[in-house]
Amino acid sequence: MADATIELLKAQLRQLRLPTIGREFEKLARDAAASNQTFAQFLLRLTELELATGAANAVASWIKDAGFPVEKDFDTYDFTVMPQLSKPKILELARGEWIAQKSNCCFVGSHGTGKTHISIALGLAACCAGLRVRFFTAAELVSRLEKEQKQDTPDRFLTQLDRAHLLICDELGYVTMSRGGVELLFRVFGDRYERGSILVTSNLPFSEWGQIFLGPARIDRRFT
């Protein structure tokens, strides 16, 4: 293939936003010629690579947008730390059916039991399934809500949260919050009820959540 033709093809592929094909078509063309592939087989391989790269890039973008403090999966979680924790149930949650049903989930336990690790792993699994996730500690979320309220832009941020299929609120109860902050957080929880899933982790027994909220929090499921 003449150099001028190759450069023109690359330019047009950039315009069409097909970067993977632009990078790989020369190598795959040589491979196709060497193995006597048909043109359709060659074209199929090119489009498969483009689609796979696009899907991988989308997942990477969703993971970045989620705001995880670190990336942790279930392969690195030691289930022996919490023998009473049902591994099959956790792996069932990783399939994300509860998120599709707009249900909620809560992990309650003392410090060092891996609640944050599990919540991140569930969030990563959701991202890999094509779902939008946002991760905050409770203190971070309240701070952001208060900041947006002071700037008179709370609705913009609430709309961003509303787009997430799963909102993870980590470490609820670890830090004392102002009454105004608690009210903002409760508004977020209330607005998402039956409209989007929430995953909450807390060191407080469920019976003590009245110390945080003025009213009862609506949590559909509890896994301890």
pLDDT tens by residue, the chain, 224 residues: 567 888 888 888 888 888 888 888 888 888 888 999 988 988 899 898 988 888 888 899 999 999 999 999 999 988 888 888 889 999 999 999 999 999 999 998 888 788 999 999 999 999 999 999 999 999 999 999 999 888 888 788 888 899 999 999 999 887 777 778 888 888 898 889 889 999 999 988 776 666 666 443 333 433 33
pTM of the model: 0.76
Closest to 120 measured CA to CA, from 70, 175, 65, 59: 70
> What is the rounded CA–CA span in Å between residue 37 and residue 42?
6
Residue 123 lies in domain: 74-211
In a domain? residue 176:
yes
pLDDT of 196: 94
Residue 29, pLDDT score: 87
Q: Are residues 201 and 114 in the same domain?
A: yes
Q: What is the pLDDT of residue 212?
A: 65
Q: What is the pLDDT of residue 216?
A: 39
Query: Are residues 34 and 98 located together in one domain of the fold?
Result: no
Give yes or no: residues 150 and 190 share one domain.
Answer: yes
CA distances from 10 to 6, 15, 129, 194 (A): 6, 9, 32, 48
Looking at the structure, do residues 48 and 79 belong to the same domain, yes or no?
Answer: no
> Do 177 and 142 sit in the same domain of this protein?
yes
pLDDT at 96: 94
Is residue 224 a part of any domain in this protein? no
Q: How many domains does the chain have?
A: 2
The predicted pLDDT at position 174 comes to 76
- Tell me, yes or no, whether 217 lies in a domain: no
Torsions phi, psi of 120, nearest 5? -65, -45
d(CA 86, CA 121): 15
pLDDT of 125 reads 96
Domain assignment of residue 216, yes or no: no
pLDDT of residue 213: 60
| Residue 210, pLDDT score | 64
Q: Do 97 and 131 touch, CB atoms closer than 8 A?
A: no
Q: Which residues of 187-213 are buried (b: 16+ CB within 10 A; e: fewer)?
A: ebbeebeeebbbbbbbbeeeeebeebb
From 66, 87, 109, give the residue that closes a domain.
Answer: 66
